[in-house]
A and B are shown apart, each in its own frame.
Chain A
């Protein structure tokens, strides 16, 4: 069905990000004295620089939408039973999140600087060598020029690491072939890539590119933070430091645990829990197509992630604290307890 388009769409997103990123890199300078103004220069002076920056920034949002949809498809239809493909997919998710994080620091706005400061400081929770580790990552005693130059380098490099990971992901997928909504063996029903999947993927490309250009042209700042229009200033802390929308659910989980190391572990395991899903598969059926109880739990997970995303963007005040804590418990409870239980009941 249409939800199988997100794999090829992710390939398109990666190519789009690399192309627009290479062109941005031709005019960007990764120094704290010129970084922010080089972005302004791209926007105002470089031919179609505004459009390239638009596409790159909003392209990141579409990249992550496609990843979340691809994971959702994997969870719903039991595609995770292709364990190698699935686990490399989790690694790709982590790589994309790292790329997006360091990429957000690059424009050196207020949220770039302070978001970078908050998240890199989380590494100080590592026992014994935490502070040394953070200073090693920073290249100094705070987020400063050393941090910016290397984060730009990491951002550029990681894009190609993702490309390599994608090749390995596809290598394993092509050993088995794709899953399907029925969750059944489809060896006897295979059809050629061209014209069936070439045109299907092309339709998906057209729809996504339409969405991306519409967002970029009609509402380019819809998902952005206004603080990033102010140059990064270590002496002025924004009242509400928050990451981009796609990280807010993890941010909500992080802040729900009133312990620094606990919060960091919660954030880490909110992603790593995906690697445990194939091990906890209890149902005799592969996907959720004929499993109404677990379907309800799946949509509960979707609703819970939306709630956690909302909470991650709210101040840490009542009743947002308790909602975030219940949401976090529900998130892990669904993966580790409720969904395996649902599968067992349905058997």
Chain B
């Protein structure tokens, strides 16, 4: 069932190089490059994610505010009371 190693893809004219895990650092530049990279990834997605979330929040607060206002008494209804 399914596909097997050795029968997946034929790739020609591609040379790959790799270095032994024992000849390199495990987490190179984790903070010095990692933190700027997080900022780059944030900038590239914030204007696609944040606007719908902000709109959602504004709808939520506006909706609850209008609902609370609707439960209040309207002074105009009681103007003719003695």
Contact = CB atoms under 8 A, between A and B. Distances in A.
B59 A307 contact: yes
Given A174-B1, A292-B48, A319 B53 contact: no
B48 A175 contact: no
B48 A306 contact: no
A306 to B, nearest CB: 6
Given A303-B53, A307-B60, A296 B67 contact: no
Interface in B22-61: 45, 48-49, 51-53, 55-56, 59-60
Interface string A274-317: 00000000000000000010011001101110110010001001
Contact of A319 (B1, B8, B52, B67): B67
A323 interface: yes
Contacts of A171: 1
Contact of B60 (A295, A304, A310): A310
Nearest to B3: A177
Contacts of B48: 292, 295-296, 299
A190 interface: yes
Contact of B67 (A174, A188, A292, A317): A317
A241 B52 CA distance: 29
Contacts of B49: 299
B66 interface: yes
Nearest to A189: B9
A192 B8 CA distance: 13
B21 interface: no
Interface string A171-194: 100110100000001011010100
A188 B8 contact: yes
Interface residues of B, number: 22
Given A177-B3, A292-B48, A317-B67, A190 B8 contact: yes
A167 B67 CA distance: 48
A302 B45 CA distance: 15
Contact of A306 (B2, B56, B62): B56
Contacts of B59: 307, 323
B53 A299 contact: yes
Nearest to A177: B3
Given A174-B1, A175-B2, A177-B2, A320 B52 contact: no
Nearest to B52: A303
Contacts of A190: 5, 8
Contacts of B67: 314, 317-320
A314 B45 CA distance: 32
Contacts of A187: 3, 8-9
24 contacts: A171-B1, A174-B1, A174-B2, A175-B3, A177-B2, A187-B9, A188-B8, A188-B9, A188-B11, A292-B48, A295-B45, A295-B48, A296-B52, A299-B53, A302-B52, A303-B53, A307-B59, A317-B67, A317-B70, A318-B66, A319-B62, A319-B63, A323-B59, A323-B63
Interface of B: 1-3, 5, 8-9, 11, 45, 48-49, 51-53, 55-56, 59-60, 62-63, 66-67, 70
| A-B residue pairs, 5 tightest by C-beta | A187-B9, A303-B56, A303-B52, A174-B2, A188-B9
Given A177-B2, A299-B48, 5 more contacts: A299-B49, A303-B53, A306-B56, A317-B67, A317-B70
Interface of A: 171, 174-175, 177, 185, 187-188, 190, 192, 292, 295-296, 299-300, 302-304, 306-307, 310, 314, 317-320, 323
